[in-house]
Structure 1
Amino acid sequence: MAAAKIQQDAEVVVSKRRPGPVAWGAVCAGLLAGAAAFLALGAGPARALPSYARQTGQPCASCHTIIPELTPFGRRFKIGGYTLQGGDWQGPPLAAMYIAGFTHAKAPYDYPNTNAQANDPNGASPQSNTPPAGLHANNNVASQQISGYIAGRLIDNVGSFIQITGDPVGGTAFLDGSEIRYANTLKLLGQDTIVGIDVNNSPTFQDPWNTTPAWSWPQFASAVSPGATLYSPPLTHIEGGYGGIVGGAGVYAFWNDMLYLDVTAYKGLPTPALQAFNTGNSATDAVSNVAPYWRLAVEPHWGSHYLMVGTFGMYGQITPGRQYGYGTDNYLDVGFDSQYQYDGDQYSLTVKLTDIMEWQTLNATYGLGGSSNLNDRLNSFKANASFVWDHTYSIGFGYFNITGSSDCNLYGSLVAYCMPTTGTSNSVIASPNGNGLIVDLSYVPFAHGAPGPYDYKTWNARLGVQLTTYLHLYGGTTNFDGSFLGGTHNASGNNSVFVYALLAF
């Protein structure tokens, strides 16, 4: 799609039904007053919802290379507040989604082994876990997600993506990733500028690129792994540590169809709000004071080529488990990201790089004996590329790498050589390091619509298979926790095949 056409579309996104002069005080007060109703669980990535197609009259292929990865037009639709109209739909902006999946791991999950101690030369019982009720040691078929949405234009210049999710695996229902946006246009330094206010419940959920944590590739993952049946490396705090415990309001601007700036302030939710939205309780981590988030990106483009280079970050003070009296754990996350996208008529190519550096000052965790170091580092790097033919067939390749400080109490297993006082983690060498590869193949049958009832305004679907290979976990390739149990206690034992199916309507 030509740059001139994208520029024109970006202006239309927020000018379709533009009100009079911007009453910023009233708008801000109104959004902040309503924010409490939507500030809960951390976000999963937004999907291609038929409610947006009904509202705009556009097929899903206009906004997505393949769902849910955004095209240049899709990014501008989001920045414009989800308010672009053009369809003949007059009903409420409602949608629903169902996701099912099958997960196969290379090695079956480890049940408790009463004879494990005899196999352990250190004479200590190794770690072992059982799968949750309703799941098997391997080859799990599960309904992953059932969601309802209020997604689209609410009033002039105000739109939303609000998601209520049921988790059949965990047996819970909760307010999932959600946001409300106000957007308008003005002239700034002689150039057209989209300005807006955003209220959301998870840092990076508001970002229009697929490089920040809430949107990062792959956008689909098994609900029974990691955590339930497989191991995985630790992540930086901005990659999910704030989900479900904060609410935030911020302002953003998109200048000259190129320069994007977003500043958001987050505040921890009180226990009654966490319980009301079924996203936490009195033992949930608490965010002290205001946690600032920032985002700066520039996206020059020529023809159908778009290149984004940006940075983002956040500083948060966390009271782990709301155990007050030991100070706070302070996390400074600084990320750098880049995305190249060719968005042609027949095919698209998207290449993404993200590097997140985290500085940890673990006052509370150290005081509670959960870490051996007061100061630690963690780094998360991701690189991936996806090729999409006709918005219908896709293949993607990704690499991830986690590195960080060795910390005996934080990462050491019970039999770690450093002799931790807790030994509740997974590394015999007290290391968080891990890396691996991901391949994803998928098919979207209704991106352009189809005859009969399968109209793009009514249905959307994606079928896919995803292969994950771990090269290292917790600093090792085999026996990374020192348990001598084999299987998933080797990095390669956690390799998995995930087959998924999504249906939205």
Structure 2
Amino acid sequence: MSGRSFAPEHRAAGFARRLARGAHWLAIALIGAVALTCASQPASAVPSFARQTGQPCAACHTAFPELTPFGRRFKLSGYTLQGGDPKIPPIAAMLMPSFTNTEAPLDPGSQPPGTKTNNNLVTQQATALYAGGIYGNLGGFIQVSGNPVSGQVWLDASDVRYADSFKLFGKDAFWGIDVNNTPTVQDAWNTTPAFGFPEIATIFSAFSPPLTHVESGWGQQVAGAGAYVFWNDMLYAELTAYSGISKTGLEALGEEPGPTPDLLNGVAPYWRLAMEPHWGDHYLMIGTFGMYGQVIPAETFGFGFDDYTDVGFDSQYQYDGDKFSVTAKLTDIMEFQRLNSSFAQGNSSNLNDRLNSFKANASFVWDHTYSLSAGYFSVAGTSDAGLYSANSLTNSPDGDGLIFDVAYLPFSHGSPSPYSTYNARIGVQYTQYLKLYGGTTNFDGSGIGGTHNASGNNTLFLYAWLAF
């Protein structure tokens, strides 16, 4: 679930255009299949994981998409657990209507085409999924998403895995092979970027702090394959190798990378280690993850590569009780940048930069129905006129803020018959920017005011996340 906006530009070759049209028809076919399933057997008309396992959504989620201990193990075991109706294919659909108000209107012309500079009521995303077992021990979470605002359809963050159980040193373990297109989408904890807090966000924003590459630079831009092991219900280790996808390939998958996307050179390794001891209903995870990649900026050859090394540390405490749950999460990502190509082209002022992204958040969920969440985020890094002068008077990437989210999930324990597997998350989210690009007022030196002040980007976001 990306929740993104895109510029309407396509320059694919004929073959890529045909594949892109194929992605559109695939989405239509999946949505049509969901509709037929709903019409013929509405009592089992997904979410597909709930239908496949025979479990309510509350078994896997505190408040979806945040996972419970059972949900994490269901994912690591390959999405293949049975127990429900095996005759219905594991397809699902989601809609995300939303309303966005920013404290100051967006600059005219900066908003997505066909929308207003403020107070936008839109369906910001529609998604069709194949989510569940494929064959035997092979399962997947495959998303084709559409943005009704831009008219784009693309292959969203997806994950296909084969998993099996075995014994190691006399202890039970899972091993698995995973293929995905977004680093961390395969992770079982909600501390990593793909499913971290906030799990849903508006597509309308003027300014936000820059992010590390593992947070924003590789999502749906790469293809990766790797292996993992989860030992003794406690220790997790993974190694995955990613390769870049060309501009033509991205357009074939429905992405809109722009005229000059960055290109990942060669193979980029991703690693993950996590330990989750638990005592009764109390679970504590301490982990690390990271990725190294060489990038050809804007596919401009002849200047070498920019090297990015992202090293993350994360921790999660979760109490998963019968009546309520509490989850607290910390994530700190340090990015070390060796900007050989950008520096040689005059696009960065420094050869070496650093960027640090820190997040702390917590949620309280009562009866899998009422969710209260709050979080703090901070980005800090090296001042660089080449990278940040367009947005920062002080050439700084620094920014921080607060996010609050209140949600109602009426159907986590099952919805009224005959729609017993449907689900919904209806919420209100508020984002307050304390600082952007090193300043609080006039941070870019434009003198325009509005969203060029940090507080002008404060956002009230009302959403309904509907799954059926």
2:373 maps to 1:447: no
Out of 283, 305, 318, the position equivalent to 2:260 is 283
Task: Name the structure 2 match of 1:145.
Answer: 125
> Equivalent residue of 1:73, what SS?
helix
> Equivalent residue of 2:341, what SS?
helix
CA distance, structure 1, for counterparts of residue 279 and residue 462 of structure 2 = 37
Relative to structure 1, is the Cα distance of residues 350 and 61 closer, same or farther in structure 2, using a 3 angstrom cutoff?
A: same
2:455 maps to 1:501: no
CA distance, structure 2, for counterparts of residue 280 and residue 104 of structure 1 = 26
2:87 maps to 1:90: yes
Out of 101, 105, 112, the position equivalent to 1:104 is 101
C-alpha RMSD of the superposition: 1.5
Q: How does 1:23-38 map to 2 (within 5 A)?
A: none
Q: How does 1:349-428 map to 2 (within 5 A)?
A: 349-412=326-389, 425-428=390-393
Q: How does 1:288-327 map to 2 (within 5 A)?
A: 288-327=265-304
> Equivalent residue of 1:69, what SS?
coil
CA distance, structure 2, for counterparts of residue 136 and residue 101 of structure 1 = 14
CA distance, structure 1, for counterparts of residue 384 and residue 463 of structure 2 = 37
> Equivalent residue of 1:366, what SS?
helix
Out of 154, 167, 189, the position equivalent to 2:169 is 189
CA distance, structure 2, for counterparts of residue 167 and residue 393 of structure 1 = 28
Q: Is the 8 A contact 2:415 2:423 kept in 1?
A: no
CA distance, structure 1, for counterparts of residue 364 and residue 90 of structure 2 = 31
Q: What letter is aligned with 1:467?
A: Y
Task: Name the structure 1 match of 2:436.
Answer: 473
Unaligned segments of structure 2, at least 5 residues? 1-21, 24-45
% identity of equivalent residues: 61
Per the normalisation by structure 2, the TM-score is: 0.89
Cα deviation digits, residues 389-414 of structure 1 (max 9, x gap): 000000001000000000011111xx
Task: Name the structure 2 match of 1:342.
Answer: 319
Q: CA deviation at 1:132?
A: 2.7
Cα deviation digits, residues 161-182 of structure 1 (max 9, x gap): 0000001122200000111110
Q: What letter is aligned with 1:335?
A: G
Q: CA deviation at 1:454?
A: 3.2
Q: Is the 8 A contact 1:461 1:504 kept in 2?
A: yes
2:177 maps to 1:212: no
Task: Name the structure 2 match of 1:117.
Answer: none
CA distance, structure 1, for counterparts of residue 261 and residue 213 of structure 2 = 14
Per the normalisation by structure 1, the TM-score is: 0.82
Q: CA deviation at 1:107?
A: 0.8
More moved, 87-96 vs 432-441 = 87-96
Task: Name the structure 1 match of 2:143.
Answer: 163
2:264 maps to 1:267: no
Q: Is the 8 A contact 1:446 1:454 kept in 2?
A: no
Q: Is the 8 A contact 2:91 2:130 kept in 1?
A: yes
CA distance, structure 1, for counterparts of residue 446 and residue 418 of structure 2 = 55
2:455 maps to 1:492: yes
Q: CA deviation at 1:364?
A: 1.4
More moved, 361-370 vs 312-321 = 361-370
CA distance, structure 1, for counterparts of residue 159 and residue 405 of structure 2 = 28
Q: Is the 8 A contact 1:403 1:432 kept in 2?
A: yes
> Equivalent residue of 1:202, what SS?
coil
CA distance, structure 1, for counterparts of residue 63 and residue 368 of structure 2 = 5
Q: Is the 8 A contact 1:465 1:499 kept in 2?
A: yes
Q: Count the aligned residue pairs.
A: 425
> Equivalent residue of 2:219, what SS?
coil
CA distance, structure 1, for counterparts of residue 52 and residue 219 of structure 2 = 29
Q: Is the 8 A contact 1:467 1:495 kept in 2?
A: yes
2:234 maps to 1:258: yes
Cα deviation digits, residues 420-475 of structure 1 (max 9, x gap): xxxxx2100000000000000000111001333331x2x11110000000000000
CA distance, structure 1, for counterparts of residue 146 and residue 256 of structure 2 = 15
Q: What letter is aligned with 2:460?
A: V
Q: CA deviation at 1:283?
A: 2.3
2:176 maps to 1:239: no
CA distance, structure 1, for counterparts of residue 167 and residue 433 of structure 2 = 50
Q: What letter is aligned with 2:453?
A: N
Q: Is the 8 A contact 1:245 1:280 kept in 2?
A: no
Q: CA deviation at 1:280?
A: 4.5
Q: What letter is aligned with 2:386?
A: N
2:445 maps to 1:482: yes
Q: Is the 8 A contact 2:224 2:242 kept in 1?
A: yes
More moved, 188-197 vs 267-276 = 267-276
Unaligned segments of structure 1, at least 5 residues? 1-36, 39-48, 112-128, 413-424
Q: How does 1:222-233 map to 2 (within 5 A)?
A: 222-225=202-205, 230-233=206-209
